[in-house]
Amino acid sequence: MFRGSLTALITPFKKGKVDEQAFQDFVNWQIAQGSHGLVPCGTTGESPTLTHEEHKRVVELCIEAADGRVPVIAGAGSNSTAEAIDFTRHAKEAGADAALVVTPYYNKPTQEGLILHYLAIANAVDIPIVIYNIPARCVIDMSVETMAKLAEHENIVGVKDATNDLGRPQRMLQLVGDKFCQLSGEDGTSIAFLAQGGKGCISVTANVAPHLCAQLQDSWHLGTYEDAFRVRDILAPLHESMFVETNPAPVKFAASLLGKCAPETRLPLAPLSIKSKARIEEAMRAAGLLN
């Protein structure tokens, strides 16, 4: 259903407000550069600090700008099931191709609680749902067995896997087969994830290197592995620099170097240190993104 390089989009701000023009210009640039899909209002889009109105507006802006050229998987998760249903319902009404629903953070549900949460959303809204499993941020980890059980629901179609456990895609493949779309949430292991049965990557780095990230995915799917490995090696230092401090502060600064937006984030994310800025700029130059 989904494949390749799907960009976990930043949300540009200008003097504290969403910069709508910069965002839509950014969406158009992403598509022109070859990105295979777009994911607004995820972690990289600073969803925790967007108001509900801003969240829904950003989703609408992305869908409007994309205009059906590539799939849009709208961030729609929450630790409140009712709130997640509301966001997911809005994603469908706005015309999104799918909803990305993160595991509930902070309240630490059991595996049974996770099943009930996702089934409530999938039963309430008829839209493809991609589970977002990111234990490092949410404290909980959805087990392979729980995910396989959820995959039995026709609306639960895939996962963004940010566990960094490269054994998981193969275990899921054995349990549910190729119909379940597994997307990596870790740029640095994107090729390894593909080799284990994945279909693509929801990428942070693609915000600033969309062409290279798409080229890596295309080369792999075409079987031109030498080219895929060459691009992997170009991107490796850049991937690392995108997490030199908490995402999305580094990638927003990197995007500002390309003139795509201001480096502005919302508190509690702090401005980058001078040392981090230098490291990011160095990595971007090494990747050929800056003169």
Q: Which domain holds residue 173?
A: 4-224
Band (8; pLDDT cuts 50, 70, 90)? very high
The CATH number of whichever domain residue 126 belongs to comes to 3.20.20.70
The phi and psi torsions of 219 (rounded to 5 degrees) equal -60, -40
- pLDDT at 1 exceeding the cut of 90: no
Greatest alpha-carbon pair distance for the chain in Å reads 52
Tokens of 156: 């639960």
> Which residue, 236, 271, 232, 235, is CA-closest to 250?
271
**Residue 239 counted as domain residue:** no
Catalytic amino acids?
Answer: 132, 160
Q: Give all strands (DSSP E) within the chain, no chain letters.
A: 4-8, 13-14, 17-18, 37-39, 73-75, 98-102, 129-133, 156-161, 181-184, 200-203
pLDDT tens for 68-113 read: 999 999 999 999 999 999 999 999 999 999 999 999 999 999 999 9
**What local confidence, expressed as pLDDT, does residue 89 receive?**
98
**What local confidence, expressed as pLDDT, does residue 43 receive?**
94
**Residue 267 counted as domain residue:** no
- Total domains present in the chain: 1
Q: Strands of 73-75's sheet, edge to edge?
A: 37-39, 4-8, 200-203, 181-184, 156-161, 129-133, 98-102, 73-75
- pLDDT at 41 exceeding the cut of 90: yes
**Residue 96 counted as domain residue:** yes
| Mean of all residue pLDDT scores within the chain | 97
**What local confidence, expressed as pLDDT, does residue 291 receive?**
83
